[in-house]
Amino acid sequence: MNTEPRTSPILFLSGAGLPAWIWDGVRAGLPVESVVAVYPKRTDASLRDYADTALAQAPDGTFTIVAHSIGGVVASEIVAIAPERVDGLLGIAASVPAAGSSFLGALPAPQRYIIGLIMRFVGTRPPEKAIRSGLGAGLGDADIARIVAEFEPESQRLYRDGVSPRTLPARSGYVTTSADQEFPAEWQRKYAAELASEFRRELPTGHLPMLEDPASVTQLLKEFASDI
């Protein structure tokens, strides 16, 4: 009798500005094919452009999306345009707006107005100090230095475009990060509720658990694969 959990290839969707190597430790422990999507580099790219670009890099056939941070917005749009391809969706400290809303729209007031205004004037690359204290919380100096050096600003439309109407996959889940300096717990609870999933897990990490504790993230992905 085959007791192996059901698995499908994985499409990783990273948070804004983050390099693909952040997932290396997690991917190394997985027994399935996986791809880390590279986002479009155009400053005028729309949310649909991000979704189309990621979908073009996805494994053939059906796949599971593992979405981190603003990658949850891209995941929502992929589900809207290609629902038959998405076998499951797991958010890791991910933004999951309601249909019609955007990343900024899903933030509570006054953050949505403050962050939106700041981006209009200074763009989408945070100051180095903010990257170190926010994204870098819980990480070693070497990883923080690499993230600061390689961080790439995204199109403002990624933050401002509303997600299309969609039906999220029945196999969905959410991993909260309890020491997160980027997404407070109340934000994450709201996003997890949008997925309406019974698969809920928590990690005592900052916003980048795939770097801070890759072994635990890998184990959670295996649990999610077997949660049928």
Tokens of 82: 């290609």
Q: Where does 84-163 have alpha helices with state H?
A: 111-122, 128-133, 141-150, 156-160
Q: What is the pLDDT of residues 8-47, one digit of tens each?
A: 999 999 999 999 999 999 999 999 999 999 999 999 999 9
Tell whether domain 10-226 is in CATH 3.40.50.1820.
yes
Tokens of 142: 């070497």
CB 68 within 8 A of CB 210: yes
Q: What is the pLDDT of residues 109-166, one digit of tens each?
A: 999 999 999 999 999 999 999 999 999 999 999 999 999 999 999 999 999 999 999 9
Handedness of CA 96, 160, 66, 17 (dihedral sign): negative
The stretch 70-94 carries a mean pLDDT of: 98
pLDDT reading at 87 higher than 60: yes
pLDDT at position 62 is 97
CB 11 within 8 A of CB 61: no
Number of C-beta neighbours around residue 130 at 10 A: 13
pLDDT at position 196 is 87
Distance from C-alpha of 223 to C-alpha of 218, rounded to nearest angstrom? 9
Q: Given pLDDT bands bounded at 50, 70 and 90, which one contains residue 49?
A: very high
Q: Given pLDDT bands bounded at 50, 70 and 90, which one contains residue 227?
A: low
pLDDT reading at 199 higher than 70: yes
Q: Given pLDDT bands bounded at 50, 70 and 90, which one contains residue 226?
A: confident
| SS (HEC) of 175-220 | EEECCCCCCCHHHHHHHHHHHCCCEEEEECCCCCHHHHCHHHHHHH
Q: What is the largest CA-CA distance in the chain?
A: 61
Virtual torsion, Cα 109, 111, 117, 120, nearest 10 deg: -130
Distance from C-alpha of 138 to C-alpha of 142, rounded to nearest angstrom? 12
pLDDT reading at 228 higher than 70: no
- 216 vs 6, which has greater pLDDT? 216
pTM reported for the whole predicted model: 0.95
- For residue 43, give the 3-state DSSP assignment: coil
- Per-chain mean pLDDT for the chain: 94
What length is written for the chain?
Answer: 228
pLDDT at position 55 is 98
Distance from C-alpha of 82 to C-alpha of 86, rounded to nearest angstrom? 7
Domain extents in the chain: 10-226
The stretch 183-212 carries a mean pLDDT of: 96
pLDDT cut 90: percent of the chain above it? 94
Residue position matching structure tokens 């890791």: 92
CB 157 within 8 A of CB 92: no
